[in-house]
Amino acid sequence: MHRRNRRSLQVAALAAGTALLATACNAAAKQDDTTAATGGSGKSFTLVTPDAVGQNEFLKLAVSGIESAAKRHDGTRKVYESTDTASQQQNVQAAVDAAPDVIVLVGFEFADIVAQQAQKHPKQQFLIVDACTTKTYDNVSCAVFREHEGVYLAGAEAGLLSKSGKVGAVDVLDTPQFRRYSDPFAAGARKVAAKTETSTRFVGGQSPFDDSARAKEQANTLLSKGYDQIMAAAAAGNYGVFEAAEAKGAYAYGVDVNQCTSAPGTVVDNVVKRTDVAVEKGIESVLAGTTGTTVSYGLKEGGISLTGLEDGVDSSKCVIADHKDVLAKVEALRDQIVSGELTVDDPAAS
Amino acid sequence: MFLDPDLLMSALRALTPILLAALGGALCERAGVFNIGLEGMMLMGCFTSVATSWFTGSPWLGVLAAALAAAAYSLILAVGAVTLRGDAVVLGIAMNLLAVGLTSFLLRTVFGVQGTFDDPSLAGLPLIGGFTPLAYLSWAAVAVAALLLSRHVWGLRLRGVGEAPDAAATLGVRPASYQYGVILLSGVLCGLAGAQLALGNVTLFTENMTAGRGWIAVVAVMLGRAAPLGVLLAALLFGLAEAAGFRLQGLGLPQQATDAAPYVVTLGALFLTTARRRRRPRTRSSGARS
């Protein structure tokens, strides 16, 4: 029995080794495949994404941002798409080896990787979008978003559209950073309808970011209490929130990209992050010599917006497209925030 | 009001996937196989049910495919633990890890998306009286399993295999075939649990969407001492604790505290049941595993 056991172990180890080798080759191949370089003689930019770009709107915007930066400087751009943690590391290394003028990285996944590389290559300029390193480095610039401004506007829409006078939010975790998606929603609703009741549920649990069944139940607890407008800020759980709202004839609000297509007639509007704006403006400021700083992008800079305030509302399948009167009021609020007349409290500000 | 029909409905919805998986785990436990691969088998069921329902348009075929796929996946444990005499715990953990990677990979290759596959036209299971047919099936399965184990000769032999495999073998019962049988059955049940989660509780697939429910099922097996009724009560306890936790948030309790509700309940229940068990003499050796 023992000998048989050992042999099967050896077979298993061999199989595992082969699988590892195969995936390693895959990762390397993927990188070559997606290295799309375009001609030119000016500046060179490299974008490293944490995931495959595919249908990911958030990353597609980042790609279009680097494309317009390359066009403006008559330069070249490369896009390295990662598929997992290992390829993220490899891609950053490959980008550093090629030494372009600016390496752009999107997502919190890169904060630690960049911190290591920035120390080793002090001449290389890095731009991290939607995250930042914990320590500041002279050659690392960060572009972050003021999501709370957009969430505030979505809350105003909810306050205007709510029939029950109760608007709620389903958030991922009860931390200041995530409260940016729920507290301003309540504040926005109360700004336009002072008597609005507000409440937030946090998904929590073992994997708060992808437990859509749990997010759906959290939304149900709000809906059963008469809440008819729900901000969905539960990552993958958002789809569960939409299902719950749809079943009860209530309305929901999405984040990051246009999620109205997931549940047409249920999703009212979305707080969108314009990654393209952050990438393009971020590159400009790095080239202008402002490095090692963190710049935040909100309504004023066009880094945060609502689907309803962007071009193409009518084809967005969003409920807000049928409520031009509400949009007009929300636009007025936006202008007040842009001009500085109105400030939105940031739950993450310490 | 705190106790209302909504709370009960919410608890019962949370119960179904955990109960189905836990029943499978309990049967394995009775046959002397410690099955902690429930989470992985359930996740395989989730993906297969969504993929099949999407391509055929029939959620029923999705349920069937999920049961078959998870049963096929459970062969890893059957072959590894029964035929090759490997460590069931190691195999179970490997199955859970593999399922996360495999379903993410398949999601990318089959649907070309990452993270979540969700489409308004994906057909989910119909609701009868607020529950999917699989929920009713899970309750019936508790009764069937309880009867089989206590009254049927098959159940008696199964318990014999778990408690004293050598004695069972000398009486002409082949432990291996019984163990294969229950592992495959647990695969079917976990497949149904996955289908319930992905086509019943919600109608979509998300990477790692089982989110620890298979582990809760493992704990329910232990807490319920691998008896179908005990497992039902344990799983119900989890369902209620979770649903009540959601309510407590509404009353202003912080999320970190309500998150702990199911675990506090588990610890409390474990403490109570073991304290009671200690006072009584043991009737069954629970350490009889091959």
Q: Which amino acid is at A304?
A: I
Would the CB atoms of B201 and A201 count as touching at under 8 Å?
A: no
d(CA B35, CA B264): 24
The helix (run of H) or strand (run of E) holding residue A187 is: helix A183-192
Domain-by-domain residue ranges, chain B?
16-213
Question: 């309790």: which residue's tokens?
Answer: B253
Residue B225, min C-alpha distance to chain A (Å): 24
User: Same structural domain for residues A119 and A229?
Assistant: no
- CB < 8 Å to A262, chain B: 118, 120
- CB < 8 Å to A8, chain B: 84, 86
Angle of helix B153-163 relative to helix B133-151, nearest 10 degrees, comes to: 80
Question: 């989470």: which residue's tokens?
Answer: B39
Q: Which of A130, A145, A160 is the last residue of a domain?
A: A145
Task: Nearest chain A residue to B6 by CA: give it.
Answer: A224
pLDDT tens column, B12-26:
999 999 999 999 999
Reduce the DSSP state of residue B227 to 3 states and report it: coil
Would the CB atoms of A174 and B254 count as touching at under 8 Å?
A: yes
Q: Among partner residues A201, A240, A262, which is closest to B246 by beta-carbon distance?
A: A201
Would the CB atoms of A239 and B118 count as touching at under 8 Å?
A: yes
Q: Is residue A261 left, alpha or beta, with left meaning phi > 0 and alpha meaning psi from -120 to 50?
A: alpha
Q: Is residue A292 left, alpha or beta, with left meaning phi > 0 and alpha meaning psi from -120 to 50?
A: left
User: Same structural domain for residues A187 and A318?
Assistant: yes
User: Same structural domain for residues A54 and A86?
Assistant: yes
Q: What is the mean pLDDT of residues A111-127?
A: 93
Could you give the ipTM of this predicted complex?
0.86
Reduce the DSSP state of residue B183 to 3 states and report it: helix
Residue A243 lies in a domain: yes
- Closest to B187 (Cα-Cα) out of B20, B54, B41: B41
User: Same structural domain for residues A173 and A313?
Assistant: yes
CB A216 within 8 A of CB B201: yes
- CB < 8 Å to A54, chain B: 112-114
Residue A17 lies in a domain: no
CB B26 within 8 A of CB B227: yes
Whether chain A has a CB inside 8 Å of the CB on B246: the answer is yes
User: Same structural domain for residues A186 and A330?
Assistant: yes
Give pLDDT, residue A31.
46
Determine how β-strand A166-171 pairs with β-strand B205-206.
unpaired
Whether chain A has a CB inside 8 Å of the CB on B177: the answer is no
Residue A295 lies in a domain: no
Lowest mean pLDDT among A202-216, B159-173, B260-274: B260-274
**B154-161 contact pairs (CB < 8 A, 24+):** B158/B27, B158/B30, B158/B31, B158/B182, B159/B30, B161/B31, B161/B32
- CB < 8 Å to A221, chain B: 6, 10, 246-247, 249-250
User: Same structural domain for residues A87 and A153?
Assistant: no
Q: Among partner residues A4, A56, A213, which is closest to B197 by beta-carbon distance?
A: A213
User: Same structural domain for residues A334 and A187?
Assistant: yes
**Residue B54 per-residue DSSP state:** H
pLDDT band per the 50, 70, 90 thresholds, residue B255 = confident
Task: Nearest chain B residue to A219 by CA: give it.
Answer: B246
Would the CB atoms of B114 and A217 count as touching at under 8 Å?
A: no
User: Same structural domain for residues A184 and A237?
Assistant: yes
pLDDT tens column, B87-129:
999 999 999 999 999 999 999 899 988 788 988 889 999 999 8
The chain-wide mean pLDDT, for chain B, equals 90
Total number of domains constituting chain A: 2
The helix (run of H) or strand (run of E) holding residue A129 is: strand A125-129
CB B12 within 8 A of CB B243: no
Q: Among partner residues B14, B206, B259, which is closest to A217 by beta-carbon distance?
A: B14
User: Same structural domain for residues A119 and A265?
Assistant: no
Q: Please determine, for residue A250, whether its predicted confidence score (pLDDT) is greater than 50.
A: yes
pTM here? Answer: 0.84
Residue B107: count other Cβ atoms within 10 Å of its Cβ: 21
User: Same structural domain for residues A86 and A135?
Assistant: yes
Determine how β-strand A140-145 pairs with β-strand A294-297.
parallel
- CB < 8 Å to A225, chain B: 250
What is the span of the domain harbouring residue A97?
Answer: 29-145
Q: What is the CATH number of the domain that holds A118?
A: 3.40.50.2300
User: Same structural domain for residues A104 and A182?
Assistant: no
**Residue A294 per-residue DSSP state:** E
d(CA A149, CA A183): 11
Residue A52 lies in a domain: yes
d(CA B126, CA B21): 21
**Residue A86 per-residue DSSP state:** H
The chain-wide mean pLDDT, for chain A, equals 87
Structure tokens at A294: 């963190």
Q: Round to the nearest angstrom and report the end-to-end CA distance of chain B.
A: 51
d(CA A292, CA A135): 10
Would the CB atoms of B202 and A217 count as touching at under 8 Å?
A: no
Alpha carbon separation from A337 to A150, A159, A287 (Å, rounded): 10, 18, 29
pLDDT tens column, A11-33:
555 455 444 444 444 443 344 33
Residue B123: count other Cβ atoms within 10 Å of its Cβ: 18
Q: Which of A88, A113, A145 is the last residue of a domain?
A: A145
Share of chain B above pLDDT 90, in %: 67
CB B168 within 8 A of CB B157: yes
A/B interface, count of CB pairs below 8 Å: 103
Q: What is the mean pLDDT of residues B232-237?
A: 94
Would the CB atoms of A211 and B258 count as touching at under 8 Å?
A: no
Beta bridge partners of A269: A253
Give pLDDT, residue B12.
93
Give pLDDT, residue A2.
46
- CB < 8 Å to B114, chain A: 51-52, 54, 56
Lowest mean pLDDT among A162-176, B24-38, B62-76, B241-255: B241-255
User: Same structural domain for residues A310 and A203?
Assistant: yes
Residue A292 lies in a domain: no
